[in-house]
Amino acid sequence: MSDLRPGETLFALHDVEVRFGHVPALRGATLSIGAGERVALIGANGSGKSTLLRLLHGLVPHASGAMLQRAPRSRQAMLFQRPHMLRASVATNVALALWLRGGGWRAARQAALEALGRVGMTELAARNARTLSGGQQQRLALARAWVLHPEVLLLDEPTASLDPTAKREVEALIAEAAAGRTLIFASHNLGQVKRLATRVVYLEQGRVVADLPVHDFFHGPLPEAAHLFVKGELA
């Protein structure tokens, strides 16, 4: 599925800073991510998780530092906590994502229906997407990403606003969609981090404070702030 060798560097950030006006959202961020990794971004509200995802997806520029990106943006897909739905049918919402990349409408629609089948939404294909529940919208967003066959999936708290059943369903789909791809996701759900990630990057006030394999993050010594955060989240 991927043209990149497992482990080959996809993103390399060196001393990167992102600012919104006077607000530094990322400060001195240095990290590299290889093909096939499953990286969880965690940290308190405002610590820079979304900003890092947006930077990797080319949605915000960096003010200083260096960033190398190997996968073409066209091979990346990003899911947001509250995905944007066009005022159109579920099938059209998915087909448009593919059609916008070029190719015929008929093929795009066919691929959209297949992707909707993968996320269990065949029966909702004709529904107005804006009338879907949060969980259904998130599944649609996954189908929309799926049709693009991305190498890299970037997810910003994809299950944060869902009920426990929808959370489980969407998480299972994410695990399936991530097979053979690189997954980078922000989450406040540490159980989900343990289930989906192989590596944890902990951010604090825009800085990368810990960057560890998932087992070491949850079982090894941590910087004090990260330790308190994990204890608090698990309490």
Q: Which is nearer to ligand ATP, 37 or 156 (CB)?
A: 156
Q: Which is nearer to ligand ATP, 19 or 194 (CB)?
A: 19
Q: Which is nearer to ligand ATP, 2 or 50 (CB)?
A: 50
Chain CA centroid to CA 24, Å: 22
Q: Residue written as tokens 């990322």?
A: 26
When binding is defined by CB under 6 A, the residue of 10, 13, 16, 25 that contacts ligand ATP is 25
Site string for ligand ATP, 142-161 (x = CB under 6 A): --------------------
Site string for ligand ATP, 181-200 (x = CB under 6 A): -----x--------------
Span from 49-57, 115-123, 169-177, 216-224 in contact with ligand ATP (CB under 6 A): 49-57
Cβ atoms of 188 and 205 closer than 8 Å: no
Site string for ligand ATP, 120-139 (x = CB under 6 A): --------------------
- 79 contributes a contact to ligand ATP by CB under 6 A: no
DSSP 114-183: HHHHHTT-GGGTTSBGGGS-HHHHHHHHHHHHHTT--SEEEEESTTTTS-HHHHHHHHHHHHHHHTTSEE
Q: Which is nearer to ligand ATP, 117 or 223 (CB)?
A: 223
- Give the angle subtended at the CA of 96 by the CAs of 91 and 101, to the nearest 5°: 140
Cβ atoms of 187 and 9 closer than 8 Å: no
H/E run at residue 16: strand 9-20
How many residues of this chain bind ligand ATP (CB under 6 A)? Answer: 12
- 23 contributes a contact to ligand ATP by CB under 6 A: yes
Span from 40-48, 87-95, 139-147, 216-224 in contact with ligand ATP (CB under 6 A): 40-48
- 20 contributes a contact to ligand ATP by CB under 6 A: yes
- 210 contributes a contact to ligand ATP by CB under 6 A: no
Contacts of 104 (CB under 8 A, 6+ apart): none
Three-class SS of 174-214: HHHHHCCCEEEEECCCHHHHHHHCCEEEEEECCEEEEEEEH
- 48 contributes a contact to ligand ATP by CB under 6 A: yes
- 27 contributes a contact to ligand ATP by CB under 6 A: no
Q: What are the residues binding ligand ATP (CB under 6 A)?
A: 20, 23, 25, 43, 45-51, 186
